[in-house]
Structure 1
Amino acid sequence: MDIEKMLQEKKKEYDHIEAPMEMEERLRSALKRQQYKKRFTWNSKAIAVVLVFFLFVGYHFDTFAYYGKKIMGYDSVMSESLKDLNQMGKGQEIGQSHTFENGIEVILDGIMMDDNQMLAFYRVKNLEEHLHNYHDHMEFKGLFKSYWMKSGMGNYIDDNQEEIVYIAAFDTPWMFERKLTFQYTLGKDDFQETASLSFTLDRNKAMGHTIKQNINKTIEVEEIQVKFEKITATPTQTLIEGSINNLLELVKEQMTGDLTRIGDMNIKLLANGREIRNQGAGMGMSTNMKGYTFRLAFEPLPQNMEKLEIQLEGLSVLRRPNMTIDLLEVELPQVIEYDHREIKIENIRVEKGNTYITIETEEDMTLLDVDLKGDNKSLKFIRTDTIDYDKKLDGTITHRRDIIFEGVEENLQLKIGQIVYTAKLQDNIISVEIK
C-alpha cells in the first residue's frame, strides 16, 4: 500500500474521534490561559520522514554500534594508522581488570589482531611510585602455546604518573585458539602476584592481510648475500622477511674461524616514492637452515599503491678475524689489509706508565675486543680516545685514535678480536611487483 494513502486514511479516522465533554472544557480553559504559540503541524510527509528514519536506524543499528565501539584512552601511544582502525571499531573490546594486593590495578581494555601480530591495549593504574620500581612480565596463554611480548610502548596519562597506558605486540594466535588468558605478573622485593584475565577470541574482528606474496630477490654486498624473501602487509603492519648467506657459509666460517655476523641493517621501504616509517621494534635475527634470517616491521602500506621498493641503505658487518699483529717500533708505521680495508698502526708511545697505540682506519671501522701482550703479561685495556678525522683526496674519511693500555711491556703483540664496519653498497634497490 502507498504510504501517503495509508497515512491519509488514518488521518480521517482520527478526525472522527470525539473527545469527552469534560476533556474539551479543560482544554479550552488551558488554552485561554496560554499565549498563542506557533506550532509544528505533523502533516503526512513529516510523519513519513520520521518513519523512514526509524526504519533505517533500526535496520542498521548493529552497524552504528560496531563503529561506535572504540578502545578509549590510547591516542598518546597509537600511530595514525592505529587511530584510523580504532575509529572504525576494528578492535575487540575485553574490559577485564585485576586489582593486586598492593592496590595497583591492571586493565586489559582490548586487542587488535591480523595476520602479522596481535596488539594488546592495557593499563596499569593506582601507582603510588614509578612502575619501573617493579619488575613485570606478561604473556597470553592459549590452549596450544604461550605468546610472548615482542615489543611495546607506554605513556603516563598525566603528570601525576598514577596511570600508564600500553600497547604491546604479540605473535598472532594460532587459528585453532578460541580462548586466551592474559597473564600479567607484577613483583617487587618479596611481593609477587599474577593477574589472569581470560576471554574468548572474536575471530570476526581479525583483519587478515592485504598483501601476502614472495619477493625472492637478492642484493649482494661485499660477498654477503641479502635475500628478501617475503612481504606480508596487514592493516597494522608491513612485515618483510629474508635471509643472509646460507648454512654452507656458516659451516665454512666455523671451519676457518673467521666468523661474520650482521650487526644491523638500515632498510627503507618506499611506497609511491614515499618512505614508510619503521615501527622501531628493531631487526629480529635468528639462525636456521637458511643461515641468518631477519624480520623487518614497518607501518601499514597506503591504499591505491602503484609502486613499492625496498632500499638497502646500510649493512653493519661484524667480523671475528682472530688477528695478531707483532708491533716492532722499527717497522712503524705499519699497514695491515683486512677485507679490502686498511688498518694503519702509526706509532707506540709511553705516557705516565701507560702504553698508547695510535691507529688509523676508515671512519666506519671500529676495532673491538683488543688485547695487548708483552714478554711477561697482558696489559689491561683502559679506553679508546679519538684524535681527529681526515678526508682523503678520493673522498674517503679516516679516523685516528689512541688505544690506551695500563702498564709497559717489551715485544708487544696486538690481538684484534672483532672488527665492525659498514659494507659498501652499489645496487641497493629492489622493486617489488605487487600481484
Structure 2
Amino acid sequence: MSKVKQQIHHKKDELQKLHAPVELEGRLRQKLSKQPKRQQKRSGKVWRSVAAGIIVSLLIGYNYQSLAYYGKKITGYDHVTSDTLQHLNDLGMGQTVNKSITFEDNVTFTIDGVIVDDNQLVMFYTLESPQSIEDHPQYDHFPNKLTGFLTNSLHESGVGEISEDGRVMKGTHSYEPPNGFAKKLTAEFFDTNKTLTFSYDPAKAMGHSIKQSINEQVVLEEGSLTFKTITASPTLTVISGTGTKALIDNIDFGQLKLVSNGEEISQFGSGYSTNITGTTFEIKYDALPTDVDQTNIELHLPNNQVIEIYTE
C-alpha cells in the first residue's frame, strides 16, 4: 500500500474512532460586498431569513497534517450548518473562541468558535442588534477578512438565520485557511476600523485526506480547461484548474458532477480569480464519505466525458 493510501486509511480510522464528549454546546450570516475580479456561481440550501455568501478563489495551499479532538461542541447551529459541519461539530472538532466586539451602533458580534482544515476556516458567530437586522441591514456587521502571521484570509461564503424578533443572527462565515504558524487571528470588519483579535491553535487544525494532482485537459467548443488538483478535507472537497477567462466566465460549473464510489457529492459553488499568471478556477463540493474502505473519485462532464481523479 502506498504512503498516500496509508495516510488516507489512517485519517479515516481516526475519524471513525472519535466520539462526542459528554459536555457539549456554542453558534452566520453574510452581507455581500464588492470583491474585485471575483465571481461566483452558487447553489445550495437556503434558510429562513438568511444571507447567502460569495465564493472567492483559494490560490495558496496549506498543509496542517494534524487531526485533533477538541472535546468541545459549538452549540446553537443545528439549523444553520451543513450536515457535514454539524457532524464534525457533534464530534467535538470545533475550537471554542467566545470573543466579542461591540460597535458604535451597539451591535455586538461574537465569534463563538472555529473549525479549520486544509480547505477553509469556518467561523461560528452570533450577531446581536438593538433593532431588527432585516429592517436595518446596516446593523449586519461581518468580518471581511482574517489577518495574522503570514495570513491574509479573505471571506469566501456565509449563511445564517435570524431570530423571530429579528435582533439575533446565528451563522457561519468561511475564509481561506490561515497560515500554519499563526497563533492569533484578527477579524477585520467592513464599515469600521474596529478589529477583534482572538487566540487560535494551528496544531488543532484538521488536515486533508487526499491532496494530489489531476493534470487533465478537457477540450470544449469554446476552448480548453485544465483540471490541476484535488484537495479533500473533512469539511470540503476542492477541485482547482486553469483556463481562459472568457471560457471560465461563461461556463456552467454546476454541470460538473463529482462522484465518489457511485455517489454524487453535493456541489457548494465555484469561483475564479484572474491575475498576471492567468485565470484559475475552483469548484467546491461537500466532503467525501469516510465510511468506505475503497475510494473511487470521478468528475463527470456535460459532454459525457469522465475524468478518473483518484482510485484507491
State the partner residue of 1:375. Answer: none
2:295 is equivalent to residue 306 of structure 1: yes
Deviation at 1:130, TM superposition (A): 2.1
8 Å contact from structure 2 (residues 70, 94) kept in 1? no
Query: What CA RMSD, in Å, does the superposition of the two structures yield over aligned residues?
Result: 2.5
Deviation at 1:146, TM superposition (A): 2.6
Distance 1:107 1:137, change over 3 A: closer
- Larger helix proportion, structure 1 or 2? 1
Farther-moved stretch of structure 1 (111-120 vs 199-208)? 199-208
Q: Deviations over 1:180-212 (max 9, x none)?
A: 112334x5xxxxx45432222212320000000
* Residue in structure 2 matching 1:273, options 253, 259, 262: 262
Give the secondary structure class of the aligned counterpart of 2:73: coil
Q: Deviations over 1:328-354 (max 9, x none)?
A: xxxxxxxxxxxxxxxxxxxxxxxxxxx
* Residue in structure 2 matching 1:432, options 292, 309, 312: 309
Counterpart CA distance in 2 for 1:102 and 1:110 is 24
Which one has the largest radius of gyration?
1
Give the secondary structure class of the aligned counterpart of 1:75: coil
Deviation at 1:306, TM superposition (A): 2.9
Counterpart CA distance in 1 for 2:220 and 2:113 is 44
* Residue in structure 1 matching 2:274, options 286, 296, 299: 286
8 Å contact from structure 2 (residues 295, 310) kept in 1? no
2:208 is equivalent to residue 209 of structure 1: yes
State the partner residue of 2:137. Answer: 133
Q: Aligned runs of 1:174-193 on 2, under 5 Å? A: 174-185=179-190, 187=191, 193=192
Distance 1:64 1:205, change over 3 A: farther
- Larger strand proportion, structure 1 or 2? 1
Counterpart CA distance in 2 for 1:127 and 1:273 is 50
Q: Aligned runs of 1:65-76 on 2, under 5 Å? A: 68-76=71-79
Q: Deviations over 1:254-307 (max 9, x none)?
A: xxxxx7664132311111122111113x32243453x43211111000121532
State the partner residue of 2:239. Answer: 240
Counterpart CA distance in 2 for 1:223 and 1:159 is 48
Deviation at 1:147, TM superposition (A): 1.9
8 Å contact from structure 2 (residues 97, 199) kept in 1? no
* Residue in structure 2 matching 1:159, options 151, 161, 164: 164
AA partner of residue 206 (structure 1): A
8 Å contact from structure 1 (residues 216, 227) kept in 2? yes
AA partner of residue 123 (structure 1): T
Counterpart CA distance in 1 for 2:205 and 2:183 is 13
Give the secondary structure class of the aligned counterpart of 2:79: helix
Counterpart CA distance in 1 for 2:70 and 2:90 is 7
Q: Deviations over 1:374-403 (max 9, x none)?
A: xxxxxxxxxxxxxxxxxxxxxxxxxxxxxx
Stretches of structure 2 lacking an aligned partner (at least 5 in a row) = 1-20, 24-68
Q: Aligned runs of 1:11-410 on 2, under 5 Å? A: 68-130=71-133, 133-134=137-138, 136-138=141-143, 139-156=145-162, 158-185=163-190, 187=191, 193-222=192-221, 224-244=223-243, 262-264=249-251, 265=253, 266-280=255-269, 282-289=270-277, 291-303=278-290, 304=292, 305-313=294-302
TM-score by length of 2: 0.70
Counterpart CA distance in 2 for 1:221 and 1:74 is 42
Deviation at 1:168, TM superposition (A): 0.8
Distance 1:113 1:68, change over 3 A: closer
AA partner of residue 153 (structure 1): V
Farther-moved stretch of structure 1 (118-127 vs 140-149)? 140-149
Counterpart CA distance in 1 for 2:262 and 2:248 is 31
AA partner of residue 120 (structure 1): M
Counterpart CA distance in 1 for 2:311 and 2:275 is 29
Counterpart CA distance in 2 for 1:141 and 1:173 is 8
AA partner of residue 95 (structure 1): N
8 Å contact from structure 2 (residues 70, 204) kept in 1? no
AA partner of residue 176 (structure 2): D
TM-score by length of 1: 0.51
**Identity of counterpart residues, as a percentage?**
32
8 Å contact from structure 2 (residues 95, 115) kept in 1? yes
Counterpart CA distance in 2 for 1:90 and 1:226 is 36
Give the secondary structure class of the aligned counterpart of 2:235: coil
Residue correspondences, number: 241
8 Å contact from structure 1 (residues 237, 299) kept in 2? yes
8 Å contact from structure 2 (residues 248, 281) kept in 1? no
Structure 1 segments, 4+ long, off by >6 Å, are none
8 Å contact from structure 2 (residues 299, 309) kept in 1? yes
8 Å contact from structure 1 (residues 91, 205) kept in 2? no
Counterpart CA distance in 2 for 1:106 and 1:141 is 17
Counterpart CA distance in 1 for 2:185 and 2:86 is 25
Larger RCO: 1 or 2 (CA < 8 Å, sep 6+) = 2
Counterpart CA distance in 1 for 2:213 and 2:238 is 12
Q: Deviations over 1:69-121 (max 9, x none)?
A: 11011112111111110011111100011223332211100111111111111
Counterpart CA distance in 2 for 1:307 and 1:160 is 47
Give the secondary structure class of the aligned counterpart of 1:76: coil
